[in-house]
Amino acid sequence: MKIFAHRGFSGDYPENTLPAFEAASKLPVEGIEFDVQRTKDGVLVVHHDEKIHRTSNGKGHLKDYTFSELRELDFGSWKDKKFKGIQIPTLGEVLRVFKDTHHLLNIEIKTDVVDYPEIEQAIMEQVDYLDMTDRVIYSSFDHVMVEKLLRVAPNNTTAALFEKILVNLHEYGEKIGTKHLHISLNAAKRGVIREDIQKGSIFRVYTVNKIEDYDAMEKLGVEAVFTDVPDVLLKHRKNKS
């Protein structure tokens, strides 16, 4: 079962920042997950929440800031004072961290709350420019976006994200055109996906931080887990082998 570092090595570093990604790039995990949004002046940046108050000393929606305004903010101190002054990274900066590594990159496109017209095209252009297309999984809670990606880039791996516990996910995936489905740990623990896996759906589960949950997902047959503590799960996996 594959391990993806969720928002980089977010257990030990501020999530979705260059230190978190640089630390994750040195780990033998299979993949890295991160989120992309767009600034007021059109710069693609890596950040999870639509609002910035949780992870910075700013407030309000990210979309209402220019890139230079965001760069003036502190995106590290919320985690620990030793990370004071860490800046929000651009998509290009994050991609370049992994340009010469082995890692798969799961790029979550954040359009389910804020509408970023044509953001998927801008993201794909940067990925293609760096010749990293075959290493990228696109995902989104916005299933209209998922369908659009499947149309404009049918050779790309695109996954539908789900927050709630649902049934018949395999049939839903077939309807929108993807077998790649990303679901919450709570949903996966209900066991409703066992039959979907047998039908050929590929599941990746977020966010798995406990060893017992890792073992349960492995037993269930999911393809990968997203974790904030990749070091813990890597050690556990190595000890099991």
Could you list the residue range(s) of the whole structural domain that residue 235 is in? 2-240
Active-site residue, 48 included: yes
Q: What is the pLDDT of residues 109-153, one digit of tens each?
A: 999 999 999 999 999 999 999 999 999 999 999 999 999 999 988
Q: Alpha-carbon distance 55 to 89, whole Å?
A: 13
DSSP letters, 174-224, are HHHT-SEEEEEHHHHHTTTTHHHHHTT-EEEEE---SHHHHHHHHHHT-SE
DSSP letters, 126-145, are HHHHTT-GGGEEEEES-HHH
% residues pLDDT > 90 (the chain)? 95
Q: What is the pLDDT of residues 152-192, one digit of tens each?
A: 888 889 999 999 878 899 999 999 999 999 999 999 998 88
pTM attached to this predicted model = 0.97
What are 65's strand-pairing partners?
none
CATH of the domain at 114: 3.20.20.190
Q: What is the pLDDT of residues 90-101, one digit of tens each?
A: 999 999 999 999
> How much is the pLDDT for 164?
87
The mean predicted confidence, pLDDT, of the chain is 97
Angular region, 105: left φ>0, alpha ψ -120 to 50, beta rest: beta
DSSP H helical ranges for the chain: 18-25, 67-71, 91-97, 119-129, 143-152, 169-176, 185-189, 194-198, 211-220, 230-240
> How much is the pLDDT for 217?
98
> How much is the pLDDT for 87?
99
The domain total for the chain is 1
Catalytic residue chosen out of the listed positions 48, 103, 170, 182:
48
Q: What is the pLDDT of residues 159-168, one digit of tens each?
A: 999 998 788 9
Active-site residue, 6 included: yes
Contact 238, 17 (CB under 8 A): no
Q: What is the pLDDT of residues 54-67, one digit of tens each?
A: 999 999 999 999 99
Two tokens, residue 189: 């623990």
Q: CB count, 10 Å around CB of 66?
A: 13
